[in-house]
Amino acid sequence: MVQASQHDEFAASDFIRLRQFDMRTVREGVSWHLIESTPNQFDFSSALQINRAAEEAGTEIIGDLLHFGWPDHID
């Protein structure tokens, strides 16, 4: 969903645009499948990109691990 909406590319402008509506806190999905693509090996670069954009825009993030529902591959 993040790639489809291009939020990963336009996060900074998305957060700035929210300021027009006086929105300063957002729920942001954390793509855990990107962070831990291999068991016990973590790469937070995808989350850091979004976090930096939010920080620059003065937006607070509430991280959400299940933003789009529970993954089918997890039992």
Question: Which tens digit of pLDDT belongs to each residue from 10-68?
Answer: 889 999 999 999 999 999 888 888 888 899 999 998 888 889 999 999 999 998 876 65
- Specify if 13 maps to a domain: yes
- For residue 70, being part of any structural domain is answered with no
Judge whether 73 lies within some domain.
no
Instruction: Please report the pLDDT score of residue 73 as a whole number.
Output: 57
Q: Report the predicted TM-score, pTM, of the whole model to 2 decimal places.
A: 0.71
Cα within 13 Å of Cα(63), Cβ side = 10
54 part of a folded domain: yes
Locus of tokens 């920080």: 55
User: Considering the domain boundaries, does residue 71 fall inside one?
Assistant: no
Output the pLDDT for position 65.
Answer: 75
Supply the range of the domain harboring residue 51. 2-64
Quick check: is 75 in a domain?
A: no
Judge whether 74 lies within some domain: no
Q: How many domains does the chain have?
A: 1
